A and B are shown apart, each in its own frame.
Chain A
């Protein structure tokens, strides 16, 4: 038995040595090999650290839980451009993304608008009480800010989903302003507060390849003049596109 095993082992080693393939052998074998009919989806090359910009534009609506203010909801628009997003992926399918965006949010088409006073208080104001002839539906209020989303992201192929928190600030420099368009002759503008304003929102995204959707919830509150202090909740739904 020992002799048989030894002979077999020696024969195997000889065959192995003889059968060491050359480059040409490899080519001959591969040329005749049939391609798998179902190719796996094209995947991006895995990189443990990724840099990419993603711009997004969103549409949102806001809610109040105070009965003192009507309407209880309105529409807004926002547009942000991503300055930089860095993703840290210890594994291909899970990572942490930190971004820096700059953009503007527009509160428009509502009867009442947000203004910031010198003390950086966001307040609702009824322009009609200010003696202004103001075509509300043609007026828009923009609020510029910097946001920093910090999101945990999971991905499979080109499908990506993330959730996390988005920090926001105007860095003391944002300008809230209103303008009128159309036939209205009166315009109002205000200066932004010098104190930086900070805020945050809870954010979630879902995307495929370069197109995605996102949702944000701003659990903020604001002191409203002349009285009252309603809770202020703000939702935004939007879509994103990018690289």
Chain B
């Protein structure tokens, strides 16, 4: 008993906080947000006097991993974030915030500095322990918005006939062609979606800065944040500093007045130095980043399906994270991916991780994963399908005085011709196809999420949900970063020391320049024959231009 008490006593003494904090000793990890733009880190070609060079951007995965490792690396004392230009998506910013907050909880400070602030850059900067703003800095919070265009009158003027065949009153992708204003359903879903995203941002910013969300909303509505001083007065930043003063501040944290003494390392250099892990035990991250297509640029369904099959056959891959950042796309291409994910999930644990979008076809391909990690601001759902038929025979007659004449052997030989709109019978036939695809979609979701089909149908109808709402509705499981998903997948596979490998291989811009593109699968070409030319069934979320984010 005496020994136990004495041991606990000594332990308590050892853990007592030190009387005085020592100056930082290690390195400063610098993160320049302008260099983090998209999921995979874009490779770009640069022509210079020294020749044609490929410069490689940093992927979100590399940054998240670097921040996570830095928290436990004795060589790294703090993180400095240059938040001048935040090019990353809202969901990526949300994940980076989570990583920075986690780093700060390890007892190491995070400092952010910027010359201007807007919704997204401040949302990111608020994750820091202290924020400093350039004294003449500017910017404000405005809330988020989107702009929709409706062109029915224009198309009527041009004489184009547009027929939208869809299932889902919220499947608004083609509405812009057939209406002059937004439908009540579409307005409702956008309003709720935008409010959900903005509320996530406000609650994050308010909690980090110790202000009330209501105050933040009020300041936003009143445009009360304008000058740098106004940000400081309201406690949203911690100080105003010129660049040289900021440099001196950082030097002071390291106990010196000389900038040369402060050792810094960029997050890209730090990421390159991280240990890769054993090649015999890998967690694969398969990216579905972009619109899903049959051919061309984007996620080519057959190509990604082939990649997934290769990962399935690779015995060194023990678990898979399916990273989805897609608004959806073509039905057949999406289903090819879905099927391969299903086959993969039979032999290895597959966990989904959502980026900015995992909607429509993007949701279809991942609904069957064992667990779905999402960000609160992710746009997902949009369980619905539509087809669009645009014909211009009447336009030719009206404007160019050209009269097309179509001759065929059968009643519907002209089906798919751009000269004549669909008849009522043909439109009904297409509607039946769309209903079948929708039904298949709902079945996939019901099976993948373990939900009742009727319940899925009530949540579907093409409705877009934020990740936060999707979790509440059972369409996703939890919020988490890409690294959280990887850790979970590894845990499912029982591996604890592993290498993270990304698939598919990142495109070499030089090869793209030389016109070397992946060959499409012949099998896909045969499948296309089932769909008449000129008609394409699409599961796609309409691209949101969410402004002022």
A and B interact: yes
Q: Does B5 contact A (CB under 8 A)?
A: yes
A13 close to B12 (CB less than 8 A): yes
Q: Does B400 contact A (CB under 8 A)?
A: no
Nearest CB of chain A from residue B535's CB, rounded to whole Å: 57
Distance of A233 Cα from B256 Cα, bound (Å): 51
A13 close to B108 (CB less than 8 A): no
Distance of A113 Cα from B211 Cα, bound (Å): 88
Distance of A31 Cα from B78 Cα, bound (Å): 14
**Which stretch, B18-26, B52-60, B386-394, B417-425, touches the partner chain A?**
B18-26
Q: Does B277 contact A (CB under 8 A)?
A: no
Residues of B within 8 A of A23 (CB): 78, 103-105, 107-110, 129
Q: Does A130 contact B (CB under 8 A)?
A: no
Q: Which of A5, A16, A17 contacts B6 (CB 8 A)?
A: A5
**Which stretch, A35-43, A78-86, A119-127, touches the partner chain B?**
A35-43
Nearest CB of chain B from residue A232's CB, rounded to whole Å: 48
A16 close to B111 (CB less than 8 A): no
A2 close to B12 (CB less than 8 A): no
Distance of A103 Cα from B24 Cα, bound (Å): 47
A29 close to B21 (CB less than 8 A): yes
B8 close to A10 (CB less than 8 A): yes
Residues of A within 8 A of B108 (CB): 23, 26
Nearest CB of chain B from residue A31's CB, rounded to whole Å: 7
Q: Are A20 and B107 CB-contacts (below 8 A) given A9-B11, A13-B11?
A: yes
A33 close to B21 (CB less than 8 A): yes
B5 close to A9 (CB less than 8 A): yes
Q: Does A12 contact B (CB under 8 A)?
A: yes
**Which stretch, B135-143, B257-265, B428-436, B463-471, touches the partner chain A?**
B257-265
B261 close to A42 (CB less than 8 A): yes
Distance of A23 Cα from B21 Cα, bound (Å): 12
Q: Does A22 contact B (CB under 8 A)?
A: yes
Distance of A31 Cα from B20 Cα, bound (Å): 12
Residues of A within 8 A of B256 (CB): 35, 39
Nearest CB of chain A from residue B250's CB, rounded to whole Å: 11
Name which residue of chain B comes closest to A17, CB basis: B15
Distance of A16 Cα from B253 Cα, bound (Å): 24
Distance of A83 Cα from B108 Cα, bound (Å): 44
B16 close to A22 (CB less than 8 A): no
Distance of A191 Cα from B205 Cα, bound (Å): 82
A35 close to B255 (CB less than 8 A): yes
Nearest CB of chain B from residue A12's CB, rounded to whole Å: 2
B21 close to A8 (CB less than 8 A): no
Interface size on A, residues (CB 8 A): 29
Distance of A133 Cα from B12 Cα, bound (Å): 94
Please provide the chain B residues from 109 to 127 with a CB less than 8 Å away from any CB of chain A in the complex.
Answer: 109-111
Q: Is the interface of A mostly helix, strand, loop or mixed?
A: helix
Q: Does A183 contact B (CB under 8 A)?
A: no
Q: Does B17 contact A (CB under 8 A)?
A: yes
For A16, A17, A24, A26, which residue has the most chain B Cβ atoms within 10 angstroms? Answer: A26
Please provide the chain B residues from 125 to 158 with a CB less than 8 Å away from any CB of chain A in the complex.
Answer: 129-130
B5 close to A27 (CB less than 8 A): no
Residues of A within 8 A of B8 (CB): 5-6, 9-10, 12-13
Nearest CB of chain A from residue B452's CB, rounded to whole Å: 45
Residues of A within 8 A of B275 (CB): none
Residues of B within 8 A of A45 (CB): 263
A6 close to B5 (CB less than 8 A): yes
Q: Does A67 contact B (CB under 8 A)?
A: no
Residues of B within 8 A of A10 (CB): 8, 12
Please provide the chain B residues from 1 to 48 with a CB less than 8 Å away from any CB of chain A in the complex.
Answer: 1-2, 4-9, 11-13, 15-17, 20-21, 23-24
Nearest CB of chain A from residue B520's CB, rounded to whole Å: 51
B129 close to A9 (CB less than 8 A): no
Q: Does A11 contact B (CB under 8 A)?
A: yes
Nearest CB of chain B from residue A23's CB, rounded to whole Å: 4
Q: Does B252 contact A (CB under 8 A)?
A: yes
B20 close to A33 (CB less than 8 A): yes
Name which residue of chain B comes closest to A39, CB basis: B256
Distance of A70 Cα from B129 Cα, bound (Å): 80
A30 close to B6 (CB less than 8 A): no
B16 close to A12 (CB less than 8 A): yes
B252 close to A30 (CB less than 8 A): yes
Distance of A39 Cα from B23 Cα, bound (Å): 13
Name which residue of chain B comes closest to A7, CB basis: B5
Distance of A24 Cα from B6 Cα, bound (Å): 33
A27 close to B109 (CB less than 8 A): yes
Nearest CB of chain B from residue A241's CB, rounded to whole Å: 21
Name which residue of chain A comes closest to B104, CB basis: A23
Q: Does A19 contact B (CB under 8 A)?
A: yes
A12 close to B9 (CB less than 8 A): yes
Distance of A202 Cα from B47 Cα, bound (Å): 52
Nearest CB of chain A from residue B127's CB, rounded to whole Å: 10
For A11, A12, A39, which residue has the most chain B Cβ atoms within 10 angstroms? Answer: A12
Between A and B, 16 residue pairs with Cβ closer than 8 Å are A5-B6, A5-B9, A6-B8, A8-B12, A9-B7, A15-B17, A16-B15, A16-B17, A22-B105, A23-B107, A23-B129, A27-B130, A29-B21, A30-B21, A35-B257, A39-B257
- 5 A-B pairs with least C-beta separation: A12-B12, A9-B8, A16-B15, A23-B109, A29-B21
Chain A contact residues, CB within 8 Å of chain B: 2, 5-6, 8-13, 15-17, 19-24, 26-27, 29-31, 33, 35-36, 39, 42, 45
Given contacts A22-B129, A26-B108, A30-B23, 19 further A-B contacts (CB under 8 A): A8-B12, A9-B8, A9-B11, A12-B15, A12-B16, A13-B11, A13-B12, A16-B17, A17-B15, A22-B104, A23-B104, A23-B108, A24-B104, A24-B130, A26-B129, A27-B129, A29-B20, A30-B24, A35-B257
